[in-house]
Amino acid sequence: MTAKIMIVDDDAETIDFLTLILTRQGYQVVAAMNGMESLRLAHSENPDLIVLDVMMPDIDGYEVARSLRRRPETAIIPILMFTAKAQVEDKVAGYESGVDIYLTKPVHPMELHANIKALLSQRVASAETVGDHGHVIGVISAKGGLGVSTTALSLAISYHEKYNENVIAAELKPGQGSWASELDFSDPCGLCNLLEMNVAEITSSTVEGQLVSTPFNVRLLLASSDPVDSVSMSNFEQYEAVLQQLSLLAPLVVLDIGTNFLPAYNVVIDICDEIILITEPHPNSVKRTRYLLDDLRNKGFGSAKVMTLVSVNHTRSDMVLSMSDIEEEIKQTVTLGIPPSTELSYQAAVRSIPMVQVQPESLVAQQYKNLAEKISKRVSQ
């Protein structure tokens, strides 16, 4: 099969020169003339290799490389940086941003082709040993207390039960974890342990070693409830490394993000393949959801990536907004509504088991199964 190479350069003559060389060698070529276009094409074209310039009018090549490495679907694409910037500090910046090879202009066509062949061979070997990334779903709300943690855990369990797939659920708020106390687990330090490591130490095996096995067959990455541990919330590079490794360990990874006030919010969102946005049928909550919804749309959710809106009702009062009221306010379809579950929540707390397992045939459990069914096609792609 012919390899597809994407050229990213704002100079038309350079694109023409590289296209001529590469097509003569039998490669398929696509081109982007700025950084933003390259990120879009990397997602839609899925190139086998990227030849990337540094100096571009919108975002430079270093930032393009970092963005590509953050996204599970583009993280393993080889990047050959091809630029006129030849200082040692330029090369160091290139390698630190995640490029595989740094070549300076001008270069002999044979040298360029030799490096491209080497990177393509490495990618084939890597694909054979690593495999595909799993599907990463982030669950988030505009404020706390709307049911993000419950939804993330319930979705993970429901998906495993329905499709018998390997699923990981992860809490992402050190110092604010809840699953360990709710489910009576004694060691909730997995996330904190990883965030305190050097990035190079965060591998698939070290992440695997911090996961907790459960009776309901979903592995968990737990966060402690000790406020002292919240200092690691700003370890952005560690967050990115942990999430990338999690995506290699299961076909589905469900993230309990909490709110957009998580310091690593942008890093986490960038890695997610889709978002489940939680709201409640209350005017103030819906208004705050609208602001978060606008931000997520600006990040490509609802267009390039899937975004699902779920309304979780916590009260039996008749004084709540209808689904159509919510949709009218925020101009987004409500995919699913979760009914009040006061009794189920109490029984789950008393028995230290997930709410969806208290009464597996309840309407609440059925709605989470419906949500699992809605995401199943995207997980299996």
In order, the DSSP letters of 26-72 are: T-EEEEESSHHHHHHHHHHH--SEEEE-S--SSS-HHHHHHHHHHST
pLDDT digits (tens, 9 = 90+) for 339-377: 998 999 999 999 999 999 999 999 999 999 999 999 998
> What pLDDT score does 38 carry?
92
> What pLDDT score does 381 carry?
61
SS3 state of residue 160 = helix
216-235: average pLDDT: 94
Regarding predicted confidence, which is higher, 43 or 219?
219
Regarding predicted confidence, which is higher, 73 or 47?
47
Tokens for 50, please give them: 């990227």
Regarding predicted confidence, which is higher, 68 or 273?
273
pLDDT digits (tens, 9 = 90+) for 133-184: 899 999 999 999 999 999 999 999 999 999 999 999 999 999 999 999 999 9
Q: How far apart are CA 148 and CA 169, in angstroms?
A: 12
Tokens for 327, please give them: 């949709």
CB 94 within 8 Å of CB 63:
no
Measured in whole angstroms, the distance separating CA 18 from the mean position of its chain's CA atoms is 33
> What pLDDT score does 3 carry?
86
- Which residue type is seen at 13? E
Long-range contacts of 263-267 (CB under 8 A, 24+ apart): 263/233, 263/234, 263/236, 264/172, 264/233, 264/234, 264/235, 264/236, 264/239, 267/70, 267/236, 267/239, 267/240, 267/243
- Which residue type is seen at 181? S
Q: Which residues have a Cβ under 8 Å from the Cβ of 183 and sit 6 or more positions away?
A: 214, 352, 353, 354
Q: How far apart are CA 22 and CA 5, in angstroms?
A: 8
> Is the pTM for the entire model greater than 0.95?
no
- The fold of the 135-379 domain, in CATH, is Rossmann fold (3.40.50)
17-34: average pLDDT: 92
Return the closest-CA partner of residue 277 out of 265, 290, 262, 261: 290
Q: How far is CA 75 from CA 15, 129, 183, in A?
A: 24, 15, 34
> What pLDDT score does 67 carry?
85
> What pLDDT score does 1 carry?
56
65-86: average pLDDT: 83
Domain edges within the chain: 4-130, 135-379
Looking at the predicted structure, is the pLDDT value of residue 304 above 90? no
> What pLDDT score does 66 carry?
86
Q: How confident is the model at residue 131 (pLDDT cuts 50, 70, 90)?
A: very low
pLDDT digits (tens, 9 = 90+) for 96-129: 888 889 998 888 888 898 999 888 877 665 444 4
As a whole-number percent, the residues of the chain with pLDDT over 70 amount to 96
SS3 state of residue 185 = coil
79-91: average pLDDT: 90
**CATH entry, 4-130, from 3.40.50.2300, 3.30.70.270, 3.30.1180.20, 3.20.20.70:** 3.40.50.2300
Looking at the predicted structure, is the pLDDT value of residue 199 above 60? yes
Average pLDDT over the chain, rounded to whole?
90
Looking at the predicted structure, is the pLDDT value of residue 276 above 70? yes
Strand 49-52 with 28-32, pairing = unpaired
Regarding predicted confidence, which is higher, 25 or 141?
141
> What pLDDT score does 129 carry?
44
Task: Count CA atoms closer than 13 A to 292's CA, side-chain side.
Answer: 27
pLDDT digits (tens, 9 = 90+) for 182-196: 999 987 899 999 999
At CA 307, angle to CA 303 and CA 309, rounded to 5?
A: 135
Looking at the predicted structure, is the pLDDT value of residue 130 above 60? no
